[in-house]
A and B are shown apart, each in its own frame.
Chain A
Amino acid sequence: MTAVISTFEVCRYFGDDQETMVKAVDRVSIAIERGEFTAIVGPSGSGKTTLLHLLGGLDNPTSGSVELSGTNIADMSGATLSDFRRDHIGFIFQAYNLIPVFSAEENIEYIMLLQGVDASERKRRVADMLQQIGLEGLGNRRPNKLSGGQQQRVAIARAMVSRPQIILADEPTANLDSKNGIALLDLMKELNQQSKMTFVFSTHDEKIMSRASRLIHMHDGEIELDELR
């Protein structure tokens, strides 16, 4: 198997003073294989979100490297990094993922506009994605006219429609009730199996983490346990 993304001894420290320095991520080395459905789990403050941000190039590591398909994204910045994220990484956040003045369709379409995909192809892919996430007929609704679960589905569609190599989801079910949370994870799992797209998500919810095929347990910024299920 090939690693889609890997880190080597990656660290992210906050603060300069040795006594007050927070080691959010400390010497973490992981490799995520293509098609994995991996959960990064741990209590609040364990470094899950910081690790996801490092994996997604949203933050620069204090030391160490983050490689996506052989490219060290820790060395990138500005427009190059933006383009790399746009073309290779999909993101789903806890909430408020969507642009509130855009409809669901437009939210999904937006990233393809950034990629320069032509209009007819954009329309086709948006329709496909809406069908895959079960929101046909709701494409013209704005986020405030969709439920929390529906909004997260649209966020999944937006993350997938650009055809990235990996999708990073930071506690995507945190703002959903358990029923909707499990339904969302089931949808992500289904899309993972259908498209063989790599998913890495963080959670501290036991029911959610049970869906993952690999669990990376974090505690105080370090990997405590890395288990395949």
Chain B
Amino acid sequence: MLTIKLAFRNLFRNTRRTILTVMLIALSLTALIAVDGVMRGMLTLLVENVTGTIGGDAQIHRVGYRENLDVDLFMENAAEIERTLQRDTSLKSYSPRVMSGAMISSSYNVAAGLLYGIDAERERSTSKVERAVLRGEYLAGGDTELLIGHSLAELLEVDLGDRIVLTLSETITGELAQALFRISGILDFGVRELDDNFVFINIASARKTLAMTDQQTHEFVLTFLNPEDAENPEHGIFQQFNNTEIEALSWLDLNKEISFIIEIMAYSSLMIGAILFLLASLGVINSIFMSIYERIYEFGVIKAIGTRPSEIVRLILWEALLLALISCVIGMLLGFAVGSWTAANGIGLGEIEFSGIAMDNNILGEFHISQFTTFPFFAVLLTLAAALYPARFAAKIVPSEALQRSL
């Protein structure tokens, strides 16, 4: 107890230096909590945008379909798959789709694009298509309704109510088929790829145009009640729908580059933390060394009267521990304040596209328990590690030299 009391009082011998060192550690912790909060917010936003636009948390396809979007690689048993999906209580929603490359023509221009036939009702709760309607109306089940990206509409020089002709190949036979549609809505996803290339029609019309039956589907897009289920390869969906015929892939499997970016972002807090605390550790080493040099005569005296080298090390480590604990309390309070501000106000990005994904919202900082447990734990650990070197130096002080040097 007397050692702890001595360590605590020693801390406040040079109050200004102690405050500066405390602020160095505390602000490093604050910065780390804030950066981690923003990183987590950015990850959440990125994942929401990846899964929330049209991709969903997971998708089911015929094996090989994803490689070249071959319209002949459709699933035959849509109703059976739907029955299984309906029984799965972990799913929030699912929606069947048929897709095909198409030549999209207006009276003025022509462009190559991608046709999505969607179940308008199911799609409402599965993707962002309805929310992306900039002008006009969402699909209501009509045979000729068509939604088109705003930049594709500009290219084709068309607007609401204008006619669009889709030219595509029928499944199996490969015969050319054409169908006439009228633009019912203009879309703005904020994602160039979607706004430049995609058109959406009702799934029944798409099947009819592609000469597909009601049971034939290219894709089921799924969303989970708990989005983290998508990251669990042991989940029932992935177990049931992965065989030689069909495959169920999570958004992580479907977006390899995004998943890589997310992995890098997850490490970024670690890297930023390592840099911050490395710098702070150098400050701690410097501060403790200065404190030891100021007390070198005193160390000579207490060693002379019988304090063991290990007890000197313990004293310095107690000083470092108390310094770290005070710093962590301040750092966590400041971190909570900064984190609360970013959680409430966010960091405005404007409307940007990140790796093909629209990020048109503020990044809202997020709190996580690790910010107030793991980070302070490592701050304490690193402060103690930083104190070891000066502590060893103090333990090796030769009393006769220390007593003569300082008088």
**Contacting pair B306 A83 (CB below 8 A):** yes
**Contacting pair A83 B308 (CB below 8 A):** yes
Judged by a CB distance under 8 angstroms, whether B304 is at the interface is yes
- Which residue of B6, B403, B404 has the most chain A CB atoms within 10 A of its CB atom? B403
Judged by a CB distance under 8 angstroms, whether A4 is at the interface is no
Interface residues of B in 350-407 (CB under 8 A from A): 398-400, 403-404, 406-407
**Contacting pair A79 B310 (CB below 8 A):** yes
Interface residue from B5, B307, B403 paired with A82 (Cβ < 8 Å) = B307
Judged by a CB distance under 8 angstroms, whether B10 is at the interface is yes
**Contacting pair B2 A110 (CB below 8 A):** yes
**Residues 100-117 of chain A: 1 if any B CB is under 8 Å from the residue's CB, otherwise 0?**
111000100111011100
**Contacting pair A111 B305 (CB below 8 A):** yes
**Contacting pair A59 B303 (CB below 8 A):** no
Interface residue from A82, A83, A113 paired with B3 (Cβ < 8 Å) = A113
**Contacting pair B2 A106 (CB below 8 A):** yes
Judged by a CB distance under 8 angstroms, whether B298 is at the interface is yes
Interface residue from B297, B304, B407 paired with A58 (Cβ < 8 Å) = B304
Interface residues of A in 169-186 (CB under 8 A from B): none
Interface residue from A50, A85, A100 paired with B306 (Cβ < 8 Å) = A85
A58-B305 in contact given A101-B10, A114-B311 (Cβ < 8 Å) = no
- Distance in angstroms from A181 CB to nearest chain B CB is 17
The segment out of A36-44, A89-97, A197-205, A208-216 that lies at the interface is A89-97
**Residues 67-102 of chain A: 1 if any B CB is under 8 Å from the residue's CB, otherwise 0?**
000000000001100110111011101111101111
**Contacting pair B400 A58 (CB below 8 A):** yes
Q: How far is the CA of A56 from the CA of B398 in the complex (A)?
A: 13
**Contacting pair A94 B407 (CB below 8 A):** yes
Judged by a CB distance under 8 angstroms, whether B9 is at the interface is yes
**Contacting pair B6 A101 (CB below 8 A):** yes
From B10, which residue of chain A is reached at the shortest CB distance?
A101
**Contacting pair B310 A58 (CB below 8 A):** no
Q: How far is the CA of A95 from the CA of B309 in the complex (A)?
A: 23
Q: How large is the interface on B (under 10, 10 to 19, 20 to 34, 35 or more residues)?
A: 20 to 34
**Contacting pair B2 A113 (CB below 8 A):** yes
**Contacting pair B2 A91 (CB below 8 A):** no
- Distance in angstroms from A96 CB to nearest chain B CB is 6
**Contacting pair B305 A85 (CB below 8 A):** yes
From B404, which residue of chain A is reached at the shortest CB distance?
A49
**Residues 287-303 of chain B: 1 if any A CB is under 8 Å from the residue's CB, otherwise 0?**
00000000001100111
Judged by a CB distance under 8 angstroms, whether B13 is at the interface is yes
Q: Which residues of B contact A101 (CB under 8 A)?
A: 6, 9-10, 13
Q: Which residues of B contact A49 (CB under 8 A)?
A: 404
Interface residue from B6, B307, B400 paired with A53 (Cβ < 8 Å) = B400
Q: How far is the CA of A128 from the CA of B3 in the complex (A)?
A: 23
A58-B298 in contact given A86-B305, A87-B306, A110-B2 (Cβ < 8 Å) = no
- Distance in angstroms from B138 CB to nearest chain A CB is 74
Q: How far is the CA of A79 from the CA of B303 in the complex (A)?
A: 10
Q: How far is the CA of A76 from the CA of B94 in the complex (A)?
A: 80
Q: Which residues of A contact B13 (CB under 8 A)?
A: 100-101
From A115, which residue of chain B is reached at the shortest CB distance?
B306
From A54, which residue of chain B is reached at the shortest CB distance?
B400
Q: How far is the CA of A100 from the CA of B12 in the complex (A)?
A: 12
Q: Which residues of A contact B297 (CB under 8 A)?
A: 96
- Distance in angstroms from B315 CB to nearest chain A CB is 11
Interface residue from B6, B10, B305, B310 paired with A91 (Cβ < 8 Å) = B305
Q: How far is the CA of A90 from the CA of B301 in the complex (A)?
A: 11
Judged by a CB distance under 8 angstroms, whether A217 is at the interface is no
Q: How far is the CA of A18 from the CA of B302 in the complex (A)?
A: 34
From A50, which residue of chain B is reached at the shortest CB distance?
B400
Q: Which residues of A contact B407 (CB under 8 A)?
A: 94-96
**Contacting pair A99 B6 (CB below 8 A):** yes
- Which residue of B6, B306, B398, B400 has the most chain A CB atoms within 10 A of its CB atom? B306
**Contacting pair B304 A99 (CB below 8 A):** no
Q: How far is the CA of A96 from the CA of B301 in the complex (A)?
A: 9
Q: How far is the CA of A118 from the CA of B400 in the complex (A)?
A: 30
**Contacting pair B306 A99 (CB below 8 A):** no
Q: How far is the CA of A94 from the CA of B9 in the complex (A)?
A: 24
Q: Which residues of B contact A89 (CB under 8 A)?
A: 306
Q: How far is the CA of A158 from the CA of B302 in the complex (A)?
A: 11
Q: Which residues of B contact A83 (CB under 8 A)?
A: 306, 308
Q: Which residues of A contact B398 (CB under 8 A)?
A: 58-59
Q: How far is the CA of A106 from the CA of B1 in the complex (A)?
A: 11
Q: Which residues of B contact A50 (CB under 8 A)?
A: 400
Q: Which residues of B contact A113 (CB under 8 A)?
A: 2-3
- Distance in angstroms from B316 CB to nearest chain A CB is 14
From A49, which residue of chain B is reached at the shortest CB distance?
B404
Q: Which residues of B contact A82 (CB under 8 A)?
A: 303, 306-309
- Distance in angstroms from A204 CB to nearest chain B CB is 15
A–B Cβ pairs within 8 angstroms, 20 of them: A53-B399, A53-B400, A58-B398, A58-B399, A86-B305, A86-B307, A87-B306, A91-B305, A93-B301, A95-B407, A96-B406, A99-B301, A100-B298, A102-B6, A106-B5, A110-B305, A113-B3, A114-B306, A158-B305, A162-B306
6 A-B pairs with the lowest CB-CB distances in the bound complex, closest first: A86-B306, A101-B9, A59-B400, A58-B400, A82-B308, A53-B400
A-B contact sample (20 more), CB < 8 A, given A99-B6, A109-B2, A113-B2? A49-B404, A58-B400, A82-B309, A83-B306, A85-B304, A85-B306, A86-B305, A91-B301, A93-B301, A95-B407, A96-B297, A96-B298, A96-B406, A96-B407, A99-B301, A102-B6, A110-B6, A111-B306, A113-B3, A114-B305
